[in-house]
Amino acid sequence: MECPIANAVVPVAGLGTRLLPATKSQPKEMLPVARKPIVQYVAEELARCGVRNLLFVTGRGKAAIENHFDPDPALTRTLRAAGKTDLQVALDFERLGLNILYTRQSVPRGLGDAILHGESFTGREPFIVALGDSVIGLRGDSLACRRMAETFVRRRADVVIAVREVPRDHVRFYGIVVSDGDGDTFRIRTLVEKPSTQDAPSRLAVAGRYAFSPRIFGLIREVRPDRRGEIQLTDAIRAVAEQGGTVLGVRLGADEKRYDVGNMPSYFETFLDFAAADPDHGPRVRSHMRRILRRYSNEEGR
């Protein structure tokens, strides 16, 4: 089914410093989450939502992402000769039906700046932004982006943000929204970037998926760099809300947890969750986990 918003921008140009040394010479978006690099789940999720055109905003050291999505005739021939049709199908990204394009953010000046690189791609059309280091739902099969696009069109919104409740001691990792009302869709009055546990206005966290009208570009241009020299997307969204624009939150469902590989603990948790849910190897992984947990609880009990 087609998505009412055809274009998606996927920023993948960040340095990934919180994951060093794993990200010294490979993009964090290529880190494996059980079977696949995380960015593959993102592309598959967008394709399933009916997005047609996907722009990766890449940067220095990110060539592995382009190599991953490019067809590889020699590998295909080898797999065919070996009768490995399942792998052949798994690697046939053309079946996703996405037009994949690339542009380059030469200097990683923050998420807001990365999105600006999508301006000539999206033109006057609304667009989705999906962070390349985050996946929604355990199999990456959430249709949240389509729901967001439908809400965007129906409510003539300026911005739609996917949000999900997080534990209070996790609010400091996320953008946290101040909402008007509850329910599945609600108006967002403003948002705060990574507040302390005490200062957080809610536990509703921005979940790495957005829909924007092209109006956002002008507002990103007005954002002043933060003390690290980065242009924060949150600042531009706050400007939309505070100028009376329609900023809506779409609540993710119970099976639409946001998994991300942005920091070590969340990468470890994401990998474990996906490995434990693997259709073939999950049972073995789960019994291994039980063994490990028993060992740790015996040691701790000593």
Q: Which residues bind ligand UTP (CB under 6 A)?
A: 11-18, 29, 57, 105, 108-111, 113-114, 131-133, 262
* Pair 158, 217: CB distance under 8 Å: no
Nearest residue (CB) to ligand UTP, 79 versus 166: 166
CB of 128 to ligand UTP, least distance (A): 14
Nearest residue (CB) to ligand UTP, 5 versus 131: 131
CB of 109 to ligand UTP, least distance (A): 5
CB of 244 to ligand UTP, least distance (A): 28
Q: What is the number of the residue whose Cβ is closest to ligand UTP?
A: 14
Q: Which of 198, 156, 264, 36 is nearest to 45 (CA)?
A: 36
CB of 298 to ligand UTP, least distance (A): 35
CB of 154 to ligand UTP, least distance (A): 28
* Pair 193, 232: CB distance under 8 Å: yes
Nearest residue (CB) to ligand UTP, 64 versus 153: 64
* Pair 11, 255: CB distance under 8 Å: no
* H-assigned helices in 49-189: 63-69, 73-81, 85-90, 111-116, 119-122, 144-154
Nearest residue (CB) to ligand UTP, 194 versus 290: 194
Tally the residues of the chain. 302
Q: C-alpha angle 70/71/73, rounded to 5°?
A: 140
